[in-house]
Structure formats: C-alpha cells, structure tokens
Amino acid sequence: MPETTSSSGDGPQDGVQVDLISTERMNGKTSMEKIRLILDSVREGDIVVLESGLTPDEESKLIEVTMSEINPDGFSGIEIESFPQSETSNTTLLGRLMGAQETSKLTVIGPANQIQSLHKDETLISALISRQ
Amino acid sequence: MGLFADLRDSVSRVTASLFADDSEPKRIGIYGPPNAGKTTLANRIARDWTGDAVGPESHIPHETRRARRKENVEIERNGKTVTIDIVDTPGVTTKVDYSQFLDHDMEKDEAVRRSREATEGVAEAMHWLREDVDGVIYVLDATNDPFTQVNTMLIGIIESRDLPVLILANKTDLDDANIQRVSNAFPQHETIPLSALEGENMDEVYDKIAAYFG
Ligand SMILES: Nc1nc2c(ncn2[C@@H]2O[C@H](COP(=O)(O)OP(=O)(O)OP(=O)(O)O)[C@@H](O)[C@H]2O)c(=O)[nH]1
Ligand SMILES: [Mg+2]
C-alpha cells in the first residue's frame, strides 16, 4: 500500500511515498519555490498531489526546469495530470489584472520512469505506479 | 506582487505594440508534441514563399532539437503581403528517455546525446513561449488523441499570454485522421485540417495565417 504523508521526506526504498500538498502550504511561495518543492519530491521517487495546481506560467516553468534536470542515469522527466480548470476560472490577462484568483485544479505529478500509466477522465485521475 | 508584475507586463506589451515598427515581422512559433509535423509544415511554408527549407523532418521523435527560425517570410493574400518570422520548435514533452531512441537503431552515445539536445531544445522553446513569440501555430497529428496533458497545458499557457493561436489538425491524408476530435478538444479555437506532407488545404492555412498574424 502506498504510504500517505503530508510532507516530503525519505520514503522507504520499497514503498511509494505520496505527498498531498495543500493550497495553504503553497500559498506565499514563489513560482520557483513551488517548482523546487515539486521536483525535489519527484526526483526522490515520490508522487506529488497539489490541492490547487499551478498557474499556466508555473506549468511552463515546470516543463522548462524538468527538461534542464533530465539526465540519462537517473531522471527521465515527469508525468503530470490535472483536472481541467473549472468554467468559472479566469486566467485571461484581464482576469489576472482584476486580481482574480486561480480556481483550484487538483494536479498529480510523478516521476516518468515509475509511473506506468496516468489516466484521467472528467472526474478521476488514476495512476499506476511500478514498484522498483 | 503578481498583480503588479502582470500590470507592468501588460503595459509594456501595450506600449510595445503601440510603438512597434510596422515593418517588424511578427514572430510565429510552431509548437506541438513531437512528431506532429511541425518541421514538415515549416518547410512547406518556407519553400512556398522563400524557396528554401527550414530543417530536416524525420519519423523519429525529437528530430528538431534546436528552434530554427526562418525570417521575413512574405505571404501574399488577396493582394496584400503579410511578413512573418516562423520559428520551428522542438516537440514539447514532460519526459525524455534516451532508451526510446535505441529502438531506432542508435548507439547509446548517440541516443544520450539526442535526448540531451532534445531536453535543452524543449527548455528553450518553453522559455521563448513566455518571452519571445507573438503568435502560435499549434500542430497536432490528427491520428492521435488530442486530449493530452501536454496539449492542455500548452494551450493554457498560450491563452494565459493572450497570444493568437491557430490549431492545425495535420496528417489528414491518413485514414485514421480525426479532425472532429481535434476541434472538440479545443472548441474555443479555430481548427484547420491539412496535410503538410501532401500540401492539402494549404490555401486555407495561408488565409488564416494572414488573418491571425497579419
Ligand atoms: N502522412 C503524413 N505524414 C506527415 C505529415 N506531416 C508530417 N508527416 C510525417 O511525420 C513525421 C514527423 O514529421 P516532422 O515534420 O519531422 O515532425 P515534427 O513535429 O517536426 O517532429 P519533432 O521535430 O521531432 O518534434 C515525418 O515522418 C513526416 O514525414 C502529413 O501531413 N501526413
Ligand atoms: Mg521538427
């Protein structure tokens, strides 16, 4: 059974650690701090679940930093899935100028070499994780 | 902070476009997942309007590993000329495993080098998308499922920057191409079917490029 914790740390080698990161914990962090937090966990083999996901800008930085950290003997990148942004969300420039908050979109991120498949439909994200 | 940064960004963008030299061509990024046909399209556009090509095409993913630019491509539509720079980018992904290239008859050294170049190229392309692109042509292989996380994220990034975007459903010459599935995936944008390889429906593609990016 996967072990579920609310903070990152050294998981046992034969288990899979799942970090559920609350909106509260992410609030007030800079984009780079969020990305660092995510990638540090994922590079240790953990699965990260974000209660409220990332902004488009942060997602693009996450891809960029992930790419720069891929190396042939260890890290081959990430799998990521999230629910679609809800209808009420306002991510347009005008919306952001007006100070509209991103609505939450649950996001699952894990190491590509350990996630055999990550599927989603409208209401369910399902991850199949391989034991090492 | 975020609000002021956004304000500053948008103000500088507005002033930039107000004072932009009209002769300065818009920079149009060709984005999309690996193997969608981005380079095939870029080459066709470049050959049709400038006479030479942009770069090599290949069935092996991550053929394009450095963004390549073709400057001052002049497209004529209805007696008017639209000048754009086209930037062919590496296929965007969240993972690259060098061992995928070993299946393509590559030695390990070469596969590792290819994957390192691919990751650098994707990082660069993502950076450009945030900083340096005035519009996007998003190319999808219409025989593949368009509902992927990478496509969703990239379209979200493009929308959040208010960039004009055209979605191209490529490879319509193949039997299992499904144009409807592509337009259903991104109903908020216009989807244009084409075969970049066969040159099918290029007239409509050029009409739309002129209309969106002119
Ligand atoms: N049947 C068909 N094949 C196509 C079409 N466009 C491209 N292809 C083929 O798809 C493969 C990939 O084409 P590229 O243009 O290299 O794809 P790309 O998107 O630039 O790929 P990367 O640079 O690796 O991201 C090649 O084998 C092309 O010949 C098309 O319209 N129809
Ligand atoms: Mg290419």
Confidence class for position A125, pLDDT limits 50, 70, 90: confident
Which residues of B fall within a CB distance of 8 Å from A112? 94-95, 97
B91 lines ligand 1 (CB under 6 A): yes
pLDDT the model gives residue B18: 52
Q: Which atom of ligand 1 is nearest to the CA of B33?
A: 25
Q: Strands B165-170, B68-77: parallel, antiparallel or unpaired by DSSP?
A: unpaired
pLDDT in tens, B96-134: 999 989 988 889 999 999 999 999 999 999 999 999 899
- In three-state secondary structure terms, B83 is strand
For residue A99, pLDDT beyond 60: no
Residue B128 Cα, gap to closest chain A Cα (Å): 10
Residues with Cβ within 8 Å of A65's Cβ and at least 6 positions away in sequence, in order, are A35, A39, B123
Closest ligand, as measured to the CA of B170 = 1
Ligand 1 centre to CA of A40 (Å) is 35
Instruction: Please check whether residue B22 touches A, CB under 8 A.
Output: no
Report the distance separating Cα A54 and Cα A81, nearest Å: 11
Interchain CB distance below 8 Å, A66 and B94: yes
Q: Please give the domain boundaries of chain B with CATH numbers for all domains.
A: 26-213 (3.40.50.300)
Confidence class for position A9, pLDDT limits 50, 70, 90: very low
Q: Which atom of ligand 1 is nearest to the CA of B43?
A: 15
Q: Please give the domain boundaries of chain A with CATH numbers for all domains.
A: 16-83+98-129 (3.30.110)
Report the distance separating Cα B141 and Cα B170, nearest Å: 5
pLDDT the model gives residue A101: 47
Q: Would you state the structure tokens that stand for residue A67, as one six-digit string? A: 């790419």
- In three-state secondary structure terms, A46 is coil
Higher pLDDT, A63 or B8: A63
Per-residue tens of pLDDT for chain B, all 214 residues:
455 666 566 655 555 555 555 568 999 999 999 999 999 999 999 999 998 888 999 999 999 999 899 999 999 998 889 999 999 999 999 999 999 899 888 899 999 999 999 999 999 999 999 998 999 999 999 999 999 999 999 999 999 999 999 999 999 999 999 999 999 999 999 999 999 999 999 999 999 999 999 8
Max CA distance (Å), chain B:
53
Look at residues B174, A49, B158 and name the one whose alpha carbon lies nearest to residue B150: B158
Look at residues B210, B213, B203 and name the one whose alpha carbon lies nearest to residue B80: B210
> Which whole-number Å values give the CA distances from A78 to A10, A51, B28, B37, B87, in the listed order?
19, 18, 28, 24, 26
Mutate to test the interface with B, among A58, A70, A114 (most CBs of B within 10 A): A70
For residue A5, pLDDT beyond 60: no
Which residues of A fall within a CB distance of 8 Å from B96? 67, 70, 76-77
CB-CB: which of B3, B98, B160 is closest to A72?
A: B98
The H or E element spanning position B19 is: helix B2-19
Report the distance separating Cα B91 and Cα B82, nearest Å: 26
Q: Are B114 and B56 contacting, i.e. CB atoms less than 8 angstroms apart? A: no
Look at residues A75, A61, A84 and name the one whose alpha carbon lies nearest to residue A110: A75
Q: In what order do the strands lie in the sheet with B191-193?
A: B68-77, B80-88, B26-31, B135-141, B165-170, B191-193
